[in-house]
Chain A
C-alpha cells in the first residue's frame, strides 16, 4: 500500500501520511493504532490519552540540523521513576528518518545503526563500561528501565504493545551519543549526538502560557 491518504478502519476519519515509508500511525480522532499492510490499514490497538507533557516539540514541528531539514511525524513517549522523555520520530527531506530525543529539554539526535560489534546482553551492562565504536570511546553513562507510555503519529515500525524496557545510554568526550534499546532481540543500536536547542532551528513549536 503506497497511498498517502486513507481512512481509519475504526472511525472512518481521514488518515494522511506525512511520510511515505510509515509503517504505523495513530488516528487523531479515535486514538486507534493503525498498521499499514499491503492492502489496507489495520487497527491493532488503541492508545490511552497521552499524559500532558512539556516538550516544546509537536507533530508538525520543522527543523534543520547542519543544513539538513526535517519534519516531526511521530513519537514514542517513555516514563521512568525520574521523569519521562519523548523520542520524536523525524523524517529528513531525503526520505530517511531518525529520532530526536527530548529528555527534560536535553536533546539528542540519533539514527538506527547497524551495530559495529556485537552488543552486550542486558544483564552484562554496568555504568562506566566502555565500547570502542567507529574509533570513538563510548562510555555507558546511564541504564534506564522505562515504561512505554504511548505512541502518536507515524513510526517506521510497529510499536504498540511494549511494557518494561531497558535502555543503555552512552556518551563520548566529544558529544557523540548512543542508545542500546533492549526492546528487541537482538538489541537495537541508535547512534548520533547531543545537540543544543538552537542548533535544531525548530519552527512550529508549542506555545507556553506566560512565555512569548
Chain B
C-alpha cells in the first residue's frame, strides 16, 4: 500500500498548499499568504490570518532533505520562538520528518545548533553542584535556565496545533554536548534531549549553499574546545611519572664516583694561615661536573671554606667558597652541619684542592670536617625546571577552560551576581 502525498487549497487565498507530512500534519501555513490552516479535516479551517508581511526566512528552506545519523529527514516546519523581557531573544526551530523514523528538531540560536528528539523516558530529579539537576542514562544534567517561550512566527507543517502567540514554559539542563529540555503547556510536560551540532555538519547534510552563520559566544551545551581539564592534568601526571623514571635512570646511570675524600680537624689559632692543599687526584672522562661535599661536626658555630680546584697540568683554577653554620637551642635548630657545591664543566686531568677554613675568632673551638670530591653527578636542577615547565600546559588549559565555562554560565540563571539579576 502506498500513502500518497496530499495537497490542499488555501481557503484564504486559493493557492495550493503541498503537504509533506502526510496525515500527520494537523497545522500547515499557506506559502502564499502565510495563513495558519487546520489540515486535520477536509474542510481546512483558517486558524489565523497574517497581517504583517515581514516574513522570517528559515536558514534551511522547507522541503530540504538531509541525512543526520543514518536517517534522511525532510524539513517540513519552521517556527521562531521568543523569550520576552529587557533582553529579549529568540531562537529558531526546524521540524524534521521521516515517514518511518518520525519527527526530530533542529534548533538554532546565534549560530549554535542542536539536534533534538523527544524522550519516551522521564529524567530523574537529583542535585548537582548544589542545585537542581536531572539524571538520565547515567548522566547528570545541571540546571541551566528556565524561560517562557512564545511562538512569534510559523511556517510549514506541524503534527500538532500551532499558532503564533502560543507560549510554553521551558527549562534546560546541560551535560555538554547534550541538553535536556522540558516544555510545559496546559499542565503537560514533554522532555527532549538535544545534541550540539556544528553548523558545518548541517550545511553539508542538507547541501546548503554558502556557510553556516558564525556562532557567537558560548552556547549552553557547547563542548569546550579546551577538552576536559582532568585529561590535561592526567597527562601532566603521566609526564611527571616519566620524569621521575628519568631521574631514577640518571641516578643509576651516573651515580658519580668519588675522586677524592679525606677528613680533617680544624684547630683555631694554631696557625695564622690555615690554608693547605690536598694530595692530587684524577678527574676522568669528558667535561663534566664535580661536586664537593662538606660534612662537619660544628656545634653552635660557623665555618667558612674558601676552595680552589686547581689543574696540575694547566694551572686552571676554579675558585669557590661555602659557609657551613649550625646552631641549636631550646627553640630549635638553624642551618646545617653539611653543605655542598657543584662546579660545572670541569675538564679531565690531574687536580688538587686548595682549602682555607675559617671560623669565629671570638668563640674558637675545634671541629672535624670531611671533604668529598665526586665526579659526574646527576644534576637534578634540570629535572626541577622540567617539572615546572610541564605545569604550564595544564595551567593554561585550566585557565582557558575556566574562561569558557564562565562565558557559558554567564548566559544561565546561575550567572554570578555581577551580571545584574534580570529576573
Contacts and interface: CB of A to CB of B under 8 A. Distances in A.
Interface of A: 51-54, 56, 58, 81-83, 104-106, 108, 127, 139, 141-142, 171-175, 177, 194, 197-198, 205-211
A209 B101 contact: no
Given A54-B24, A208-B22, A209-B2, A177 B100 contact: no
A210 B4 CA distance: 9
B1 A175 contact: no
5 contacts: A83-B160, A105-B101, A139-B122, A208-B3, A208-B99
Given A83-B26, A171-B121, A206-B3, 5 more contacts: A53-B23, A54-B3, A104-B159, A106-B118, A210-B5
B161 A207 contact: no
Contacts of B161: 81-82
Contacts of B122: 139, 141, 171-173
B29 to A, nearest CB: 18
B18 to A, nearest CB: 10
In order of increasing CB-CB distance, the 9 nearest A-B pairs are A105-B102, A194-B120, A54-B22, A54-B23, A208-B99, A207-B2, A209-B5, A173-B124, A175-B121
A197 B102 contact: yes
A56 B22 CA distance: 11
B195 to A, nearest CB: 16
B315 interface: no
Contacts of A53: 23
Contact of A208 (B2, B103, B124): B2
B3 A83 contact: no
B99 A58 contact: no
The main secondary structure of chain A at its interface with chain B is loop
Contacts of A197: 100-102
A59 to B, nearest CB: 10
Nearest to A177: B120
Given A56-B100, A208-B99, A210-B5, A106 B23 contact: no
Contact of B100 (A105, A172, A173, A194): A105
A208 B20 CA distance: 10
A177 B119 CA distance: 12
Contacts of A172: 121-122
Interface string B1-16: 1111110000000000
Contact of B188 (A54, A104, A141): A141
A113 B101 CA distance: 28
B235 interface: no
A211 B103 CA distance: 15
B77 interface: no
Given A54-B22, A83-B26, A206-B1, A142 B188 contact: yes
B136 interface: yes
A67 to B, nearest CB: 21
B102 to A, nearest CB: 3
B121 A51 contact: no
Interface residues on B, range: 20 to 34
Interface in B100-127: 100-103, 118, 120-124
Contacts of A141: 122, 188-189
B64 to A, nearest CB: 14
Contact of A173 (B3, B40, B136): B136
A205 B120 contact: no
B1 A207 contact: yes
Nearest to A79: B40
B105 to A, nearest CB: 13
B420 interface: no
A209 B102 contact: no
Contacts of A104: 24, 102-103, 159
Given A106-B102, A127-B187, A209 B118 contact: no
A194 B161 CA distance: 24
A168 to B, nearest CB: 12
A205 B189 CA distance: 32
A171 B122 CA distance: 7
Contacts of B101: 105, 197-198
A174 B121 contact: yes
B21 interface: yes
Contact of B99 (A52, A194, A211): A211
A135 to B, nearest CB: 15
Nearest to B184: A127
Nearest to B21: A54
Contacts of B3: 52, 54, 206-209
Nearest to A82: B160
A191 to B, nearest CB: 14
B2 A83 contact: no
A194 B118 CA distance: 12
Nearest to A193: B120
A149 B253 CA distance: 88
Contacts of A82: 26, 160-161
A51 B187 contact: no
Contact of B120 (A54, A175, A207): A175
Given A58-B1, A83-B159, A127-B187, A205 B121 contact: no
Contacts of A54: 3, 21-24, 99
A33 B4 CA distance: 27
Contact of A52 (B23, B102, B160): B23
A177 B2 CA distance: 31
A197 B120 CA distance: 13
